[in-house]
Amino acid sequence: MKLKKIDATGKPYRIFAEHLESQAIDQFVGAMQLDSVLKGALMPDAHSGYTLPIGAVVAVQGMVYPSFVGYDIGCGMCAMKTTFRPADIRTHAPAIFKRIYEQLPVGFAHRKTPSEWGDFKRLDHTPHLKKLMVNGGLKQLGTLGSGNHFVEVGEDESGAVWIVIHSGSRNIGHSVATHYLKAASPDGRPREGFFGLLTDSAAGEDYIRDMAYCLAFALENRRQIMHVVADAIASQVEGKLIVSSLINRTHNHAEKTGGLWIHRKGATHAEDGMPGVIPGNMRDGSFIVRGKGNPESLSSSSHGAGRVMGRKEAKRKIDLASFAADMRVRGITAKVDRHTLDEAPGAYKDIHEVMAMQADLVDVLHHIRPIINIKG
């Protein structure tokens, strides 16, 4: 797909998606027309987002854009192999499912007491972020977000059981994003728009520090969720995590590479040889991949399947009974009700088609098919 308005700028870009709504195109064109944006790409799962499309990657000179990273700073995926046996997981799936929900706060719930985190004070951060952490930040660690965030226990083609987690920086990341969206905005209000911060300004440097902290916080959150889930499974069956197999990859961040700030908004870092995790939906599971470092995608890949329906539209159009039957026939133990209807497979693009569209971006190593799915 070629776009005349971007072609007129002479800037390199590549669109890997085949079908895009007009709003996503307009958002991408607007970003590419900024003087500070030098190169861009849209992943196969791209769709409209907050200022920048979900599934967009842009290379920026001398600026960071909080809206290009978004509210859930550091949101991403973790996957870890285990020694649990799939037959045991299936036999005890209802009990494991129940145990996970008992032990893991989900949605807007937090822990009653603060979690332990050794890097809480050691990592560099601003007084604003310190205040957020002191006022309940540690109670958010080891908790699962709502919406498309999930925990999945599944089996790959070799019979290995994996735990896959999609979650981010919780309210800490949202509060940090809001603070810097205000700082970047011309009227001091958090708003959509191409408002950035100079990287050598006080506000820009503070955002970079606090963003890095949120990335570490999000990783620690996923690690703690991983251990909660593993303990819940181990309370029912024999087995444990293979810690050396941890794969962690964020898809909402900005990082400096070759003098430019690469902003990824719902896009997975995929350098040559880099392991990654790309989720599909509640029914079709997740993929363990290896990046190819494609320069046309700015060494990135999709972060999932990408939505084809908004949440309200999905709840109007998707039939709950069909959703339930679809999950039941595949033997997946999951929360299937009106609250998760907007996460039904039909609300998303076909993940197999999305994976086919990014054959030049990643190699598929494993396809993990879900046995248990946990939603916030």
Task: Write a three-state SS string for 146-205.
Answer: CCCCEEEEEECCCCCEEEEEEECCHHHHHHHHHHHHHHHCCCCCCCCCCCCEECCCHHHH
User: 47, 179, 269, 303: which one is catalytic?
Assistant: 303
Please report whether residue 274 resides in a domain: yes
Quick check: is 337 in a domain? no
- Please report, for the domain that includes residue 140, its CATH number: 3.90.1860.10
Identify the helix (H) or strand (E) that includes residue 281: strand 275-281
- Residue 152 annotated as lining a ligand binding site: yes
Task: Point out which residues pair with 278 in neighbouring strands.
Answer: 287
Cα separation, 11 vs 39, in Å, equals 6
Q: How far apart are CA 7 and CA 15, in angstroms?
A: 12
**Average pLDDT, stretch 19-37?**
96
Q: Is residue 286 a known part of a binding site?
A: yes
Domain for residue 339, yes or no?
no
pLDDT at 122: 93
The number of angstroms, rounded, from the C-alpha of 165 to the middle of its chain's C-alpha atoms is 9
Residue 317 within any structural domain of the chain: no
- Give 132-158 pLDDT, tens digit per residue: 999 999 999 999 999 999 999 999 999
* Alpha carbon distance 198, 207 (integer Å): 10
Residues 228 and 90: their CA atoms lie apart, in Å, by: 19
The residues pairing with 58 across neighbouring beta strands, listed in sequence order, are 40, 263
327 in any annotated domain: no
Cα–Cα distance measured from residue 43 to residue 113, given in angstroms and rounded to the nearest whole number: 40
According to the annotation, is 149 in a ligand binding site? yes
Mean local confidence (pLDDT), 236-259: 97
Residue 41 lies in a domain: yes
Structural domain contains residue 328: no
Residue 179 annotated in active site: no
The total domain count for the chain is 1
pLDDT (tens digit per residue) in 62-117: 999 999 999 999 999 999 999 999 999 999 999 999 999 999 999 999 999 999 99
State whether the Cα torsion 88-92-97-98 is positive or negative: negative
Residue 291 lies in a domain: yes
Over residues 192-246, the pLDDT tens digits come to 999 999 999 999 999 999 999 999 999 999 999 999 999 999 999 999 999 999 9
Domain of residue 59: give its range. 4-308+348-375
| Residues facing 189 on adjacent strands | none
* 150 annotated ligand binder: yes
pLDDT at 165 over 90: yes
pLDDT recorded at residue 303: 97
